[in-house]
Structure 1
Amino acid sequence: MKHNWRRVAAGAAVVMLGLALSACLLTPGRFTSALDLRRDGRFSFTYSGEIRMLALSKLAEKAQAEKNAFTPSDCFDENMAKRPCKATELAEQRKTWDDERKASADRRARESEQMKALLGGIDPSSPAAAEELATRLRRQAGWKSVIYKGDGLYVVDFSLSGRLDHDFAFPTIERFPMANPFIQLTRRADGSVRVDAPGFGPASGAGNPFTAMMSGAMSEMGGAAGKAPALPTFDGTFTITTDGQVLANNTDEGPQPDPAGQRLAWVLNARSAAAPTALVRLGQ
């Protein structure tokens, strides 16, 4: 019974991890990021460091792993003492395993098509997928350098400047119908700009609402099938400089003097209390 429970738990964990990977495509690793906002509407944003594409990582491989050999579960008598399994019991276990394997294969086929749609046609199971994504990023404005390091990890250098006559989000990827943003700039009618950095939030909360699901799933997988894969490291800094009026922010120290006007700074890791947020009034 214990082994049957573990088999069920491991199967449920794989499903949970697959859902989490689908919902949270990108996550920051070690990074430095900065945003500069000018009262006349000019802005510049930089991100230098790691980005992990979870769909190309060992986490995804774990979610797609298949048990290739049938291993019978233990059988017990009415006193819960282990005993040899009967032929009929072994046959029933084997049938259940075959049914689960077929259902798992069907589920993986569906999830593969869904993931390809989320990745703009890129097949994450293809050996060429990682470089195909890197090539797609390199041809977009702002991506100065994109280097693939393996296990879904990219080291990037992004820098973009412009005018805030529109909202802004990072990262965006060509042909991706959706990508969870690390940072969002939202213009308001009164001339202020709201800065939200949900992707820079704590690993257990605001930055990634699916991390708790992933952690629980991997814990079950580790208990049921050996060592679970580790979550990516999250460690970075985010700084805002501006000559505008800082109306609100959630830094520990508030606005500090800076040659560029004022500075807001966050040191970010898994222990951070909340995702960075600020409200800055621009205009003459």
Structure 2
Amino acid sequence: MNYRHAFHAGNHADVLKHITVLALCDALTAKPAAAFALDTHAGRGLYALDSNSAQRTGEAEGGIGRLIAEAPKHPAIARYLSAVRACRQEHGSASYPGSPWLLAHALREQDRIATCELQPEEANQLSTVFVRDPRVAVHERDGYAAMKALLPPRLGETRYNRGLVLIDPPYEAQLEEFDTALAALRDALARWPQGSYALWYPIKLRRSLQQFYRRAATLPAKSSLLVELQVRPDDSPLRMNGSGMLLLNPPWQIDQTMAGVVPLLAKALAEEAGAEGRVDWLVRPA
């Protein structure tokens, strides 16, 4: 696997993903019971936007850079920008938090986080980021295999009835990645049906995703929600025109939160005419 997220950190896809992740975490922490989070493709946890990798693509300028400049008025966007500022106060003005850092930032002392990263160099950096945080376990292993090993989550005598599994694969196998991800989700839901699950996916041509949508709707979740953002028309299979999040068993009112966020992101991060977003139920809650 050759993918390195350092080239893409802070881009429009990260903005959507990380706003969503923080909204999910805030729903978890609204109740006092301890929660568990698993990040299956964690990366290095922390990125430098002034690095050669980030500068080579310049993608962060069209994502977090533009959002900071525009600062649309919405509590979920303000929450995300506040987390980015907290990261920069701790790690420097050019830093950008990956999803593991955001999970650790948003969750509480009684919560537990497991992160998985297959690439040794990235996993080593991830361990460095969390060396002093006893809540976070770093596993140098395949994230899909970890779902089988770590779900349902328990630590000693503690069993976690609430939590989040974030699946953010690199899609190096392109559409074939959906086969692997959907199979992993089906198995995970059988193991831990009360968990919430979030699968990130790229959008090139939306019509190529129709089979994914149909198959996702058959997963044994109580409800399934799509949250998508396109920064340009989906008229080219050669570039990522947008991205989405498939949310299984999402918390109450997350659809309303994201329905307010997505149009603001489409306006702020548009790269061409035709930018848009949508929040649609695949399976509505009973």
Same fold at TM > 0.5: no
Which structure has the larger Rg? 1
> What range is the shorter-chain TM-score in?
under 0.3
More strand by share: 1
TM-score by length of 1: 0.28
TM-score by length of 2: 0.28
